[in-house]
Amino acid sequence: MGGVRQGFRKLGNDTNQMKTHHQITRRRFAGGLLQAAILTATAPNLIPLRVLAGDHTPSKKIQLGHIGVGGQGTNLLNNFQNVDTAITAAICDPFRQRREAAGKLVAERRQLVPKLYNDFRELLADPGIDAVVIATPDHWHVPIGLAAVRAGKDVYIEKPLGHSLAQNRAMLEACTKHSKIFQYGTQQRSEEILKRGVELVLNGYIGELQRLEVWAPAGAGGGSLAEIPVPEGLDYDLYIGPAPLRPCSKDRITSSGSWFCSDYALGFIAGWGAHPLDIAIWGMDSDTQGPVAFRGTGNFPTPEALFNTCATWDVAAKFHDGVTMRFMSADIAKPVVSTYRGDSWEGNGTTFFGSQGWISLGRETYAASNPAWFKLNPCAGQKRVRYHNKYYQSFVDSVRDRTPSVAPIQDALRSDALSHLSLMAIKTGQEVVWNPHRYQIQSPDGLNHQMSIPIRGDWKQS
């Protein structure tokens, strides 16, 4: 198609020369809890470690604890070994074999031996740990994050955020109360071309924003419920934690189990949707202006199996300022998006449509109604996003310097709410109206009780 130019690239993992932009012109949303939290989070009440006495000197390396070292957790562990200003001092995982393998990885990469823990509470009790990297199954993200900030640690938390809207609010309040750095696991924010595309939108190159299309990979059904003995080396009760305690099965203790079982996750509508939804809220603030209405349909292919989350979805959101958004699984999105992106289709992305053109951003490709826009670096205009092309270095820098992260808790709260509310609209078959200022469901009022979920044991969410 004549108006499409595509670019193919690998997702950057701290391989480019460092470049930071500290000027922030993001429009912030006002009202109630979120306004107060933002003002608190951005106020100059964080004392840089480099100006404190004792151990907190300029030469001190940030001491990291890694909680959860499965597939993604090990990826993060590897990436943080490239950050010279931090060291992995401790590792925690209820799978003994995983934590031991992770300990060997650090010993080989950095010639030091981290402490190994089965229980994250023991790691958090270590006063020498400055910050933790949380890459557990989804349902553990916020309970461990809350315990961490209350223990005085800064947090890097993998996406998605919470297993409920109430958990998300609790995480925001805790980070604000304790003045702790939070960085979300949305590493696409360190892709320079995505930053460039978002700034084109913010500076009016597509004219007035009118609508968005957002899509992410579909989920999956299936999964065995057949009971098996708990594998040797796994603390199963701790692994399940705040979720219902059910018999161990071979699929329950896999990555797919943590992604597609509703005991632990919302499914890919949140787990993968977090990435393109994050780009959406990076480039607009329509979700913060007033009530947002959601309607949607979805498919739960195997509701009686282990993998019982929504696998495909099609949700329409209407924002208070008139901007609309269509949020889809990739199977539904492909024929829609291909009408303007042609051969540059990929299975996840965010498209901004304005009165004078469009810009479409994905993890591997990008396109626009005017391809020449992407040659502008920087584009004209004053609006800039906070950016750092070394994502893991940026977290360590924020911990050391007490500066806001490139993916703060406020943005995590916004994008994750879009997933939760989309799923509520699908499950109820009704229009769900959200009031972001009050952080509550405006209608149907009866849905507000679903903002919280039952918690097993003493894993408090607020």
> How big is the CA angle at 140 (ends 40 and 284), to the nearest 5 degrees?
45
Say what the pTM is: 0.89
- Comparing 35 with 259, the larger pLDDT belongs to 259
Q: Residue 461's pLDDT is what?
A: 54
Query: What are the phi and psi torsion angles at 22 (to 5°)?
Result: -95, -10
CA nearest to 389, candidates 57, 13, 3: 13
Domain co-membership, 276 together with 369: yes
What six digits make up the tokens of 408? Answer: 């703060």
Helix, strand, coil share (%) of the chain residues, nearest 5: 35, 20, 45
CA nearest to 24, candidates 401, 282, 362: 282
User: Is residue 5 included in any domain, yes or no?
Assistant: no
Domain co-membership, 214 together with 233: yes
Structural domain range at position 81: 22-189
Domain co-membership, 56 together with 71: yes
Identify the band that residue 396 occupies on the pLDDT scale cut at 50, 70 and 90: very high
Last residue of a domain, one of 164, 189, 214: 189
List pLDDT tens digits, range 430-456.
Answer: 999 999 999 999 999 889 999 999 999
User: Is residue 387 included in any domain, yes or no?
Assistant: no
The CA distance from 65 to 119, in Å, is 12
Domain co-membership, 158 together with 264: no
Q: Residue 1's pLDDT is what?
A: 39
List pLDDT tens digits, range 100-144.
Answer: 999 999 999 999 999 999 999 999 999 999 999 999 999 999 999
How much is the mean pLDDT over the chain?
Answer: 89
Domain co-membership, 254 together with 337: yes
3-state SS record for 252-282: CCCHHHHHHCCCCCCCHHHHCCHHHHHHHHH
Q: Residue 63's pLDDT is what?
A: 98
Give all strands (DSSP E) within 193-323, no chain letters. 209-216, 292-299, 312-318
Domain co-membership, 185 together with 250: no
What six digits make up the tokens of 318? Answer: 């209407």
Q: What percent of the chain has pLDDT over 90?
A: 84
Q: In the chain, how long is the greatest CA-to-CA distance?
A: 62
- Is the pLDDT at 49 greater than 60, yes or no? no
Helix axes 96-110, 71-80, angle to 10 degrees: 20
Domain co-membership, 52 together with 172: yes
Last residue of a domain, one of 189, 209, 237: 189
User: Is residue 9 included in any domain, yes or no?
Assistant: no
> How big is the CA angle at 296 (ends 215 and 252), to the nearest 5 degrees?
70
Domain co-membership, 33 together with 172: yes
Domain co-membership, 175 together with 215: no
- Count of structural domains, the chain: 2
What six digits make up the tokens of 152? Answer: 């005085």
> How big is the CA angle at 142 (ends 118 and 218), to the nearest 5 degrees?
100
- Comparing 41 with 258, the larger pLDDT belongs to 258
Domain co-membership, 140 together with 275: no
For range 86-90, the mean pLDDT: 98
Residues in the chain: 462
Domain co-membership, 166 together with 271: no
Q: Residue 35's pLDDT is what?
A: 47
